[in-house]
Amino acid sequence: MKIGVLGLQGAVREHLWALEKCGVETIVAKKSEDLADLAGLVIPGGESTTVGKLLVRFGLLEPIKERVRQGMGIFGTCTGMILLAKEIRGSDQPRLGLMDLTIERNAFGPQVESFEMELPVPVLGEEPYHAIFIRAPYAVAAGPGAEVLAELNGKIVLARQGKLLGAAFHPELTDDLRIHKLFLSMLAEKTGV
Ligand code: GLN
């Protein structure tokens, strides 16, 4: 199985490392040709307005959506989760708009730049997940297509929809591979989006 990490901005290397630990082949995806044979694409954290503009400028927005229609999965962390959402409150920034989520950006408030906590994620088992949030968004609402996998104070911080997985935090910054493995297991399923 080959997984691409979108290489426009953000924590690309850390995702490559985590994926390689999971035993899959990886590439850094920068152009539409790179998407051709990917089972999944990871969209790392960064600045979602910048990454959205770069997706448009490099002609990647439509090709990514087309590959999703053909069965490619996407794992979006932080900025990646924002770009996956259909609704971004107060913003018309470019996005993929594939998940039934309404996102609030920088949602924990500017005074809370980053924090770490033990997040219960029932789908991963009893052991909580050490979640690192950096100027993080959350989703305030999930439509019928999206399944909420973790919440923090009633706000959605991990959700899936078919082969799409969005995390408000940064699993690539820990040694715990369970969320990358969850994404890889989703790709093996037959469900469409
Ligand atoms: N605050 C950023 C945004 O709105 C996301 C931060 C991140 O990806 N760590 O795009």
Question: What is the whole-number distance in angstroms between the Cα of residue 134 and the centre of ligand 1?
Answer: 7
What atom in ligand 1 is closest to the CA of residue 46? 8
Select from 5, 12, 14, 48 the residue to mutate for testing ligand 1; criterion: most ligand atoms less than 8 Å from CB: 48
What's the alpha-carbon Rg for the chain, to the nearest Å? 15
Q: What would the DSSP string read from start to end of the chain?
A: -EEEEE-SSSSHHHHHHHHHHTT-EEEEE-SGGGGTT-SEEEE-SS-HHHHHHHHHHTT-HHHHHHHHHTT-EEEEETHHHHHHEEEETT--------EEEEEETTTT-TT--EEEEEE--GGG-SS-EEEEEES--EEEEE-TT-EEEEEETTEEEEEEETTEEEESS-GGGSS--HHHHHHHHHHHS----
Q: How far apart are CA 176 and CA 178, in angstroms?
A: 6
Q: Which residues line ligand 1 (CB under 6 A)?
A: 45-48, 78-79, 82, 105-106, 134-135
Please report the pLDDT score of residue 190 as a whole number. 67
Please report the pLDDT score of residue 128 as a whole number. 98
Q: Of all protein residues, whose CA lies closest to atom 6 belonging to ligand 1?
A: 135
Instruction: Retrieve residue 69's tokens.
Output: 């229609």
Please report the pLDDT score of residue 111 as a whole number. 60
Please report the pLDDT score of residue 32 as a whole number. 97
Answer for the pair 159, 99: CB distance below 8 angstroms, yes or no. Answer: yes
Q: Of all protein residues, whose CA lies closest to atom 5 belonging to ligand 1?
A: 79
Answer for the pair 54, 13: CB distance below 8 angstroms, yes or no. Answer: no
All structural domains of the chain: 2-191 (3.40.50.880)
What atom in ligand 1 is closest to the CA of residue 134? 9
pTM above 0.85, yes or no: yes
Q: How far apart are CA 99 and CA 106, in angstroms?
A: 19
What atom in ligand 1 is closest to the CA of residue 49? 10
Catalytic residue list: 78, 170, 172
Please report the pLDDT score of residue 99 as a whole number. 98
Q: What is the mean pLDDT of each run of 10 residues along the chain (193 residues)?
A: 96 97 98 97 97 98 98 98 98 98 91 88 98 96 97 97 98 98 92 53
Q: What are the phi and psi torsion angles at 160 (to 5°)?
A: -130, 155
